[in-house]
Amino acid sequence: MSAAPVAARPAPAAPLLAVRGLKLRFDTRRGVVRALDGVSFEVAPGECVGLVGETGCGKSITARAVMGLVPAPGRIEGGEIRLDGRDLMALPAEEWRAVRGSQVAMIFQEPKRALDPTATVGSQIVEAAMLARRIDRAEAKRLALDTLRQVGLADPERIMRTYAFELSGGMAQRAMIAIAVVGGSRLIIADEPTSSLDVSIQAQILRLLQDLRRRLGSALILITHDLGVAAENCDRIVVMYAGQIVEQAPARELFRAPAHPYTERLLRSLPRPGRDALSPIPGTVPDLIDPAPGCRFANRCERAGPDCAATPAMSEIGRRHFVACYRPVRPT
Amino acid sequence: MSAATLPPAGSVLGALKLLAERPSAMFGLAVIASLVVVALLAPWIAPYAADDFTEGVLEPPSWAHLFGIDQIGRDLFSRVILGTRISLRIGLLAVGISLAFGVTLGVLAGYFGGWVDAAIMRVMDVVMALPYVLLAVLIATALGPSLENGIIAIGIVRIPRFARVARAATLATVELPYVEAARCIGASHPRIIAKEILPNILGPLIVYGTLSLGDAILAAAVLSFLGLGAQPPTPEWGALLYEAQKYLTTAAYLSLFPGLFVFVTVLSFNLLGDGLRDMLDPKSRR
């Protein structure tokens, strides 16, 4: 980052993460699945961005791409992933590996399965600290104990010696979070971090993530299919559908005035007190093998018209509010 | 069975408790433990040295000579006891060879997949198709028949089996979230293999290794019996059988005792191996 004096009018901060035009494909026996088709978004330092969408829309694979861990047979076809201005995709594998854990870290959906069953929690945190910070074991151990305290685990000395199966889901997720933050990453990606937990624990874990984000000053990408969770926790929300981003806006703006028909339908399908029946979105997500040209939501969209046969471009319709739709929903 | 959960990792006592629920496995373990003690203390247990000559030839079992006396006057009990050490060593060495190469190749194939996997496993298929007796003949022809060459032959033929077990276990493990989590903290491939893969595929390898110990001892006995392994006067069990075969009709006890030891040993390893498999695989616990 440059040390230039801050201009009078605060310029938009240089993004910490910039993903531009990311295309990712899976070569399967049935054909080529275009799992990501031109995904672009940014994350500012310290910002919390929610990545929302249905299962299979590409949110998890976007996270994997940023980590440089696209599972086979997935392959990045084009685009850019820049972290602090550095083009990660141009890095040799070894250098990208060094980025993981020290600059970007990840938290998983099923914490008990994301912990090694044959190693103690302590050894896993110590390992993460040593790899990310190039420090010796004694120092890493001190840091690990300190981090366990920070994630709200009482008696860290004892937790260090436990195995995953001895922890509850909530405790295991706290331990996972400790592993993620111990390296001092400025970007944490949480992939459905609360989906496998009890509702009461979910709130605690989300609060912890917010708390840590503020204290450590790191940015957070919160991947979730739960719009409610995104609304409560994120500064900005990116909505994905069928491998593309359809809308992004500050959280409040998105909920007040959703512009993309998909977002609007998604919000309408949320259960709310006082509403009798849920309103599911008709139809199904299109097949990502040879999808029809044009807007991918068109086949399920009430507002679709002949113009939707051409792919809509992303346009700014409000302050930092972008939508890819020819016939956006107007606020009433 | 009442036990629903595995004992904490690293708890030997817990493992023994689980094993104790299976009498046949405990029997196997007890026999093997005794054989190990016998092997370690063989020179002190055996009343005679392997090539000591005593009074008489081809004497049937008596109190003075529990297993009888062989065709040139050696005490068979002493020879069988001393042979225990040789046979157990054969098992360990042969399985050691199979395990070291098989696990290395299998883990590499399973972990990296793609052409690495294809190349390794095709070679393994070829080795797999090789009967160990044929390989032993080839090695014996090239290097001369000896116990060591027999061990090498037995070790080599079993490499593909261990490679397959290790590969299958690795394939199942690399998919698990904790391996991805390890990648996310910046762990390198060698580190992930050493710290995440190996410790987590140990279960099936221990089971297969135990079952293989019995097989290897049996295979070594067969090679020695055919004259391709241990050479007389080495008191290896198969070599004892080889020497005894000429007297099968006149002095059956010369074949009976070494044969019994081979049988009981192989059976014990199989019982223990089956017990371990049931214990480590919750699905087969009934």
Q: Which residues contact B73 (CB under 8 A, 6 or more apart)?
A: B53, B54, B55, B56, B57
Give the residue on B whose Cα is nearest the Cα of A94. Answer: B188
Q: What are phi and psi of B205, to 5 degrees?
A: -70, -40
Which helix (H) or strand (E) segment is A179 a member of? Answer: helix A169-181
CA of B47 vs chain A CAs: smallest distance (Å): 47
Best A75, A102, A112, A131 residue to mutate vs chain B (most B CBs within 10 Å)? A131
Q: How far apart are CA A263 and CA A251, in angstroms?
A: 12
- The domain spans of chain A are 43-70+88-241, 254-332
Computed over its alpha carbons, how large is the radius of gyration of chain B?
Answer: 22
Bridge-partner residues for A104, per DSSP?
A100, A187
Q: What are phi and psi of A154, to 5 degrees?
A: -70, 155
Cα dist from B217 to A28, A145, B83, B268, whole Å: 47, 50, 11, 12
Q: How far apart are CA A51 and CA A59, in angstroms?
A: 6
Bridge-partner residues for A75, per DSSP?
A25
Low-confidence spans in chain B with pLDDT less than 70? 1-11, 281-286
Q: How far apart are CA B53 and CA B60, in angstroms?
A: 15
Nearest to A132 among B180, B186, B188 (CB): B186
* pLDDT at residue A195, rounded to an integer: 87
Contact criterion met (CB < 8 Å) for A108 and B113: no
Residue B156 CA from chain centroid, whole number = 13
Q: How far apart are CA A176 and CA A159, in angstroms?
A: 12
Best A64, A88, A97, A187 residue to mutate vs chain B (most B CBs within 10 Å)? A97
Contacting residues of A for B180, CB less than 8 Å apart: 69, 108, 114
What confidence tens digit (pLDDT) does each residue in A129-184 have?
Answer: 999 999 999 999 999 999 999 999 989 999 999 999 999 999 999 999 999 999 99
Q: Would you say B74 and B135 are in contact if contact means Cβ atoms under 8 Å apart?
A: no
* pLDDT at residue B57, rounded to an integer: 77
Q: Does B56 touch chain A (CB under 8 A)?
A: no
Give the residue on A whose Cα is nearest the Cα of B6. Answer: A165
Q: What angle do CA B42, B45, B50 make, to 5 degrees?
A: 60
Q: What are phi and psi of A238, to 5 degrees?
A: -115, 120
Angle at which helix B198-225 crosses helix B76-112, to 10 degrees, equals: 140
Give the residue on B whose Cα is nearest the Cα of A65. Answer: B184
What confidence tens digit (pLDDT) does each residue in A265-297 have?
Answer: 888 887 777 766 777 788 888 888 878 788 999
Q: What are phi and psi of B95, to 5 degrees?
A: -65, -35
Contacting residues of B for A190, CB less than 8 Å apart: none
Q: Domain A43-70+88-241: give its CATH code.
A: 3.40.50.300
Q: How far apart are CA A45 and CA A235, in angstroms?
A: 12
Nearest to A101 among B8, B178, B186 (CB): B186
Coil, strand or helix at B284 = helix
Q: How far apart are CA A186 and CA B39, in angstroms?
A: 61
Q: Which residues contact A56 (CB under 8 A, 6 or more apart)?
A: A285
Best A127, A181, A195, A221 residue to mutate vs chain B (most B CBs within 10 Å)? A127
Q: Which residues contact B129 (CB under 8 A, 6 or more apart)?
A: none
Contact criterion met (CB < 8 Å) for A100 and B180: no
Contact criterion met (CB < 8 Å) for A118 and B185: no
Q: Does B4 touch chain A (CB under 8 A)?
A: no
Nearest to A98 among B9, B177, B186 (CB): B186
Q: What are phi and psi of A168, to 5 degrees?
A: -75, 165
Nearest to B177 among A105, A110, A183 (CB): A110
* Chain A / chain B CB contacts < 8 angstroms: 72
Residuewise pLDDT in 10s, chain A (332 residues): 444 444 444 445 689 999 999 999 999 888 889 899 999 999 999 999 999 998 889 999 999 999 999 988 899 999 999 999 999 999 999 999 999 999 999 999 999 999 999 899 999 999 999 999 999 999 999 999 999 999 999 899 999 999 999 999 999 999 999 999 999 999 999 999 988 888 889 999 999 999 999 999 999 999 998 888 898 899 999 999 999 999 999 999 999 999 999 999 888 887 777 766 777 788 888 888 878 788 999 888 888 888 888 889 899 998 899 999 999 987 65
Three-class SS string for B102-138?
HHHHHHHHHHHCHHHHHHHHHHHHHHHCCCHHHHHHH
* pLDDT at residue A6, rounded to an integer: 44
* pLDDT at residue A5, rounded to an integer: 47
Bridge-partner residues for A285, per DSSP?
none
Contact criterion met (CB < 8 Å) for A114 and B177: yes
Q: Does B178 touch chain A (CB under 8 A)?
A: yes
Q: How far apart are CA B54 and CA B251, in angstroms?
A: 17
Give the residue on A whose Cα is nearest the Cα of B203. Answer: A118
Contacting residues of A for B193, CB less than 8 Å apart: none
A242 DSSP 8-state letter: T
Q: Would you say B272 and B23 are in contact if contact means Cβ atoms under 8 Å apart?
A: no
Coil, strand or helix at A46 = coil
A154 DSSP 8-state letter: S
Nearest to B178 among A100, A114, A180 (CB): A114
Of A189, A186, A164, A166, nearest to A177 (Cα)? A189
The residue to which tokens 């992303």 are assigned: A314
Q: How far apart are CA B26 and CA A212, in angstroms?
A: 52
pTM of the model: 0.84
Contacting residues of A for B204, CB less than 8 Å apart: none
Contact criterion met (CB < 8 Å) for B8 and A163: yes
Whether the ω angle into residue A312 lies within 30 degrees of 0, i.e. cis, is: no
Contacting residues of B for A119, CB less than 8 Å apart: 195, 199
Contact criterion met (CB < 8 Å) for B199 and A119: yes
Angle at which helix B132-143 crosses helix B147-174, to 10 degrees, equals: 130
Contacting residues of A for B282, CB less than 8 Å apart: none
Best A94, A99, A116 residue to mutate vs chain B (most B CBs within 10 Å)? A116
Of B98, B202, B208, B109, nearest to B158 (Cα)? B98
Q: What angle do CA A137, A142, A145 make, to 5 degrees?
A: 120
Cα dist from B281 to B5, B9, B120, B269, B274, whole Å: 11, 14, 27, 18, 10
* pLDDT at residue B284, rounded to an integer: 53
Contact criterion met (CB < 8 Å) for A100 and B181: no
Contact criterion met (CB < 8 Å) for A101 and B185: yes
Residue A48 CA from chain centroid, whole number = 9
